[in-house]
Structure 1
Amino acid sequence: MAAAAMIEFIEKDRILEKVNTDALYMKDELDVLKQKHALIGDVRGIGLLWGIELVKNRDTKEKAVEEAEMVLYECLANGLSFKVSQGNVLQLSPPLTISRQQLKEAINIVDAAIAKAMGK
């Protein structure tokens, strides 16, 4: 019963189309952050599951573990929660129903936290 209701919701609200559009938006916005912040070594993802790899040096790919922790706690202080994997990869996985405005706010929080971790 619950599964059928969930499938109906996904189809009725066109969640798959929304997520595909949000994925393109996330890719573009995170690529902008990568160009802006040398601390970001790579961004990768699909749908609304994204990883931001933080590195001390893009050539050596040395993990920026301390910086990742600083970014995590700064984001938490500003209302954004996520997980860090492998010590230096910020894992962003918002709910599929997130609004575009909420997505923008989340990216802005990450942007500001990375800038703060870099001392900017």
Structure 2
Amino acid sequence: MTERTLFSRSIGPLSRADIVRYAGAGGDFNPLHHDETFATRAGLGSVIAHGLLTAGLTGTALAEHVGPLRLRRYAVRYTGQVRPGDTLTITASEADGESDETMRIALEVTAAVEDSAARPVLTATAEVGR
């Protein structure tokens, strides 16, 4: 099957405030997400965004495109870290395995800081009702 891009959307750049707001909403105050000294000492170089923040932004973009009532399944795999200043690019394509009732969608998310190469940070699959 020839891959067909359904949509591509950029979000960001993400700020430290976005990450802290998500921590408050989600109740995850792990210092890796807000304490520069702690994150650096842990070997991360800087704070990182919550994986669920990235997954949530991706899922929201998908639901806005297909309609939230059509979204039946959504599964993610984290492949990289998202940092303050990153802009996420979400690309969704039709995937093999479609039926008369559902369409499978594959999503790839990359993050990039201005003037740098994009790096993969999340892959996902979704099942959408027709």
- TM-score in terms of structure 1 length: 0.30
Q: Which has the higher contact order (CA 8 A, sep 6+)?
A: 2
Which structure's residues are more often strand, by fraction?
2
- TM-score in terms of structure 2 length: 0.29
